[in-house]
Amino acid sequence: MSERRIVITGLGAVTPLGLDVPTTWANLLAGRSGVSSITSWDASKFDCRFAAQVKDFEPRKHFFVEKDARRADRYSQLAMASAKEAVQHAGLDPKQLQLDRVGVLVGSGIGGLKSLGDQDEILLAKGPGRVSPFMIPMMISNMAAGLISIEFGFAGPNFSVVTACATSNNCIGEAWRLIRDDEADIILAGGSEAACVPLGMSGFAAMRALSTRNDEPEKASRPFDKDRDGFVLGEGAGIVIVEELEHAKKRGANILAELTGYGLTADAYHMTSPSGIGAVKAMQHSLRRAKLPVEKIDYINAHGTSTPVGDVAETDAIKAVFGDHAKKLPVSSTKSMTGHLLGAAGAAELIFCIKAIEQNIIPPTINLDNPDPACDLDYVPHKARETRVDAALSNSFGFGGHNATLLVQRFVG
């Protein structure tokens, strides 16, 4: 089988920095933090009382039928909004497409946690007869992919990958694989998450994974800084339109970038602590599939969660893969502004890589005031940097030891 080239033709995102890609990107380049104190519920008894929340989101605007929005968990609502932006951005008209050749691969690391928590409270307070018949459909992690396919009539490959924080990179990578193998021509791929709820916050806090910088929440996410004390939980969604090149050309699509590399591995080491070895292999596999030498990578969007162990492990992995080139390779963690979007992180961050290629500008790592001596790369501190970007790599690593790396390049016809 001849190698089918795979491109990106549309972008959609809802993040703590904006309800669409242009707003998110503008705030990212400005170095603004999307982290703030929690006000939508009482977090006063929690060790961590802040998060990176999506604000002013109106789910009814993003469904053809209003009641469908009410029957969807927030993570599915965010995914639908991102899907509609991506479809519009790509200029896709379902009436002009062969619908069984259009797929949806949208995952979530956790799924409908708000719905689960809300219905558990109803169960305990009012009994099993009052639990919503929509609880299970609202909760399960594959429902965002299902709802998007129903909304548009996309009847091609449809499933949800669940690999914690590597989820959406795996979804996008598997979309690349399916299109390469001629199973589809177009796939909406990415992830969504909405875990900034009491159950989610308490669970991550119990693991001592979250920052507790409650007096300065906007400065709490500080990847690679020696004063980092954990990640900031975020919510949001990101979806990209992954498409076969000739199909995109025939319909006159605007090609944003070419997706050329995908690497995935397991640490086989620990539930929550990374070994770094799997990250090395994932990056190497992505480079091998793209047939690119390390010197051709111009930017890495790091997983960079702001955890004491994880940031050092990723720094060491990058040095192991890139050798001398690592010393001059810009690396930034946009989680310093968006917080950690969990299953949506990879898709949002791949979008940032694509925008970096499109505009030749790299978003910064904010809050990097006191660099950790063990984290000694160029993390583009504080301010965005204008520079030529032809190839970018996006890392996502998840609990369970899941590693997924994507590589995008400037499209050359």
Query: Which among 62, 340, 353, 375 is annotated as catalytic?
Result: 340
Query: Which among 303, 353, 375, 402 is annotated as catalytic?
Result: 303
**Tokens 């954990």 appear where?**
230
The answer to whether 243 and 264 have CB atoms below 8 angstroms apart is: no
Q: In what order do the strands lie in the sheet with 257-266?
A: 158-159, 102-107, 186-193, 236-244, 6-14, 257-266, 402-409, 391-398, 299-301, 331-332
DSSP annotation of 351: H
φ and ψ at 408, to 5 degrees?
-120, 150
Using CA atoms, how far apart are residues 160 and 155, in angstroms rounded to an integer?
15
DSSP annotation of 166: G
Using CA atoms, how far apart are residues 169 and 302, in angstroms rounded to an integer?
13
Q: Please enumerate in sequence order all residues whose Cβ is within 8 A of that of 240, keeping only pairs 6 or more positions apart, or say none.
A: 8, 10, 11, 12, 86, 172, 188, 189, 190, 347, 350, 351, 354
Q: Identify the sign of the CA torsion 309, 314, 315, 317.
A: positive
Using CA atoms, how far apart are residues 334 and 305, in angstroms rounded to an integer?
9
171 tagged catalytic: no
Using CA atoms, how far apart are residues 215 and 212, in angstroms rounded to an integer?
9
Closest CA to 302 of 381, 201, 210: 381
The answer to whether 306 and 230 have CB atoms below 8 angstroms apart is: yes
Using CA atoms, how far apart are residues 229 and 310, in angstroms rounded to an integer?
11
Q: Identify the sign of the CA torsion 305, 306, 312, 316.
A: positive
165 tagged catalytic: yes
What's the maximum distance between 2 C-alpha atoms anywhere in the chain? 64
247 tagged catalytic: no
Q: Identify the sign of the CA torsion 36, 41, 42, 45.
A: negative
Query: Which among 165, 196, 353, 375 is annotated as catalytic?
Result: 165
Closest CA to 187 of 202, 176, 201: 176
Question: Which residues face 381 on adjacent strands?
Answer: 365
Q: Could you list the beta-strand ranges (E) of 177-311.
A: 186-193, 236-244, 257-266, 299-301
User: Catalytic residue numbers?
Assistant: 165, 303, 340
